Amino acid sequence: MSQWTFLSNHAHVLFLLCKHPDLRMRDISSKVDITERAVQRIVHDLVEEGYLVIHKEGRRNHYEPVLEAHLRHPLEAGITIGNILSGMQHGGRST
């Protein structure tokens, strides 16, 4: 059986943080099934590209998605993170 998925690990991390903005790297790592270091790199990428904003709350981080941010690929340039999340909430199964 094939192991590929339609969404990238970047998308998985972003969607998890949109639903659960206070998740720890360890929890994200477990849910996405990648290393904590990979999660750190992905979160860094998402912050650098303007998809996430990090707010410190004591010793924890709170992640805020930038719902107006557009997808990067030219074929998807008119689609925002908010559009994708809305479609997933209305048409997809909850995890």
- Domain residues for 43? 9-91
Please report, for the domain that includes residue 67, its CATH number. Answer: 1.10.10.10
Question: For the chain, what is the domain count?
Answer: 1
pTM to 2 decimal places: 0.85
Residue 84 resides in a domain: yes
Q: Mean pLDDT throughout 69-90?
A: 88
Q: How far apart, in whole angstroms, are the C-alpha atoms of residue 72 and residue 7? A: 14
Q: Does the pLDDT at position 68 exceed 90? A: yes
State how far the alpha carbon of 57 is from the alpha carbons of 14, 35, 54, 75, 90, in Å: 19, 24, 10, 37, 31
Report the pLDDT value the prediction gives residue 93, as an integer from 0 to 100.
47
Q: Is 50 left (phi over 0), alpha (psi -120 to 50) or beta?
A: left
Report the pLDDT value the prediction gives residue 43, as an integer from 0 to 100.
98
Phi, psi of 71 (to 5 degrees): -65, 155
pLDDT one-digit tens code per residue, 7-19: 899 999 999 999 9
Nearest to 87 by CA among 9, 23, 11: 11
Question: In 1-95, where does DSSP find H-type helix?
Answer: 9-19, 25-32, 36-48, 81-91
pLDDT one-digit tens code per residue, 43-57: 999 999 999 999 999
